[in-house]
Amino acid sequence: MIQLEDVTKVYRMGKVEVRALYGVDLTIDDGELVAIMGPSGSGKTTLMNILGCLDIPTSGRYLLDGTDVSRLSDNRLAKIRSRKIGFVFQSFNLVPRTSAVRNVELPLVYAGVRARRNAARLALEQVGLGDRQKHMPNELSGGQQQRVAIARALINDPALLLADEPTGNLDTASSGEILTLLGGLNDAGRTVVIITHEEEVALLAKRVVRMRDGRIVSDQVQRNRMEVTA
């Protein structure tokens, strides 16, 4: 379970302070599928970085499964990312010059798991890329790269999957595939948080959180949720 209590984030750039989050309170239960929406610069990515333990809040508390992670050291945060969180980025962020299967394996390497190759193959098959294991990132289409990224996010079996505009760089068809995958993962019991600009993407979420200028301005549970079809 995720609990943000009065979380603020201030970026300091020399003498100038940029306030990205103003007192955000947010609770997300296990197994939820949440879409976070809002105009550019409203603090969505900042929020996701904090949720994903890539960054710590300037003030406020962040309880992840009951433990306060807002003041943890670099190393502890890395361990939490390794164990509990999977990321999918808008720009895919695969490690360059490293084959699909090796990219998928990496989280296991850092988690200290020895038997990896099979798990990585399975994960790739799960996202429909069983036949692209040895391909380098630059030999894959955008949609395929994003699917590799999803496989990589899944390999550690994380409870929380964070996706920052996962379809932002993809055409409609690929977007559909990616959203189906993410939806399926949520159905399997994972907490999924998707940041998006597109209303259609938000439609598949059970809950939509809207942000503006670093604040949450609305938080609704959708009744007429759309079932996504590939």
Partner 1 sequence: MNLREALRIALRGLRANRLRSVLTMLGIIIGVSSVILLVAIGNGVQSSVNEKIQPLANLITIVPSVGNVPGGAAPKDLIDADVAALQDLGLSHHITAVIPATTGKALTETDAFRFRATVVGSTDRWLEVNNQDMAAGSFFDEAQFRSTARVVVLGPSVASYLFGTDPVAALSHTVRINRQTFRVIGVLQSVGEPGDSVAVMPLNTARRYIFGGGDKVNQIIVQATEAAAVPTAEDEVIRTLSERHRIKDSANRDFEVQSLRSRLDTFNQILRILTLFTAAVAAISLFVGAIGVLNIMLVSVTERTREIGIRKAIGATRRAILEQFLIESLVLAGLGGLVGILVGIGLSVLGAAVAPAFGPTFATFAPVVTIPSVVISFGISLAIGLIAGGYPANRAARLRPIEALRFQ
Ligand X SMILES: Nc1ncnc2c1ncn2[C@@H]1O[C@H](COP(=O)(O)OP(=O)(O)OP(=O)(O)O)[C@@H](O)[C@H]1O
Question: 143, 170 in Cβ contact below 8 A?
Answer: yes
Residues 31 to 50 in contact with Mg ion, rule: CB under 5 A: 45
Task: Choose the contact partner of 94 out of Mg ion, ligand X, partner 1, none; CB within 5 to 8 A by kind.
Answer: partner 1
Q: Considering only the stretches 42-50, 58-66, 140-148, 152-160, report the one whose residues sit in contact with ligand X under the rule CB under 6 A.
A: 42-50
- The residues of the shown chain that bind partner 1, judged by CB under 8 A, are 49, 52, 54-55, 74-75, 78-79, 81-83, 87, 89, 93-98, 102, 106-107, 109-112, 152-153, 156
Draw the binding track, 85-114, toward Mg ion (x: CB under 5 A; -: no contact).
Answer: ------------------------------
With residue 215 as reference, give the H or E element that holds it: strand 215-221
End-to-end CA distance of the chain: 30
Residue count of the chain: 230
- In the block, tokens 């379809």 appear at 167
* Among 65, 46, 67, CA closest to 57: 46
* Cβ at position 35, least distance to ligand X in Å: 13
Asked if 40 interacts with ligand X (CB under 6 A), we say yes
Strands of 67-68's sheet in order across: 16-28, 2-13, 59-64, 67-68
191 near Mg ion (CB under 5 A)? no
Look at residue 17 and give the partner it binds from partner 1, Mg ion, ligand X, none, a contact being a CB closer than 5 to 8 Å depending on partner kind: none
Backbone angles phi, psi at 98, to 5 degrees: -135, 130
Q: How far apart are CA 130 and CA 124, in angstroms?
A: 5
Shortest reach from residue 164's CB to Mg ion, in Å = 6
Contact between 196 and Mg ion per CB under 5 A: no
CB 126 within 8 A of CB 151: yes
- The option from partner 1, Mg ion, ligand X, none interacting with 81 (CB < 5 to 8 A, set by class) reads partner 1
> Which residue, 40 or 224, is less far from ligand X as judged by CB?
40
Instruction: Give the torsion sign (CA, 184, 185, 190, 191).
Output: negative
Task: Choose from ligand X, partner 1, Mg ion, none: what does 41 bind? Cβ within 5-8 Å by kind.
Answer: ligand X
How remote is the C-alpha of 177 from its chain's centroid? 16
Residues binding ligand X (CB under 6 A):
11, 13, 18, 20, 38, 40-46
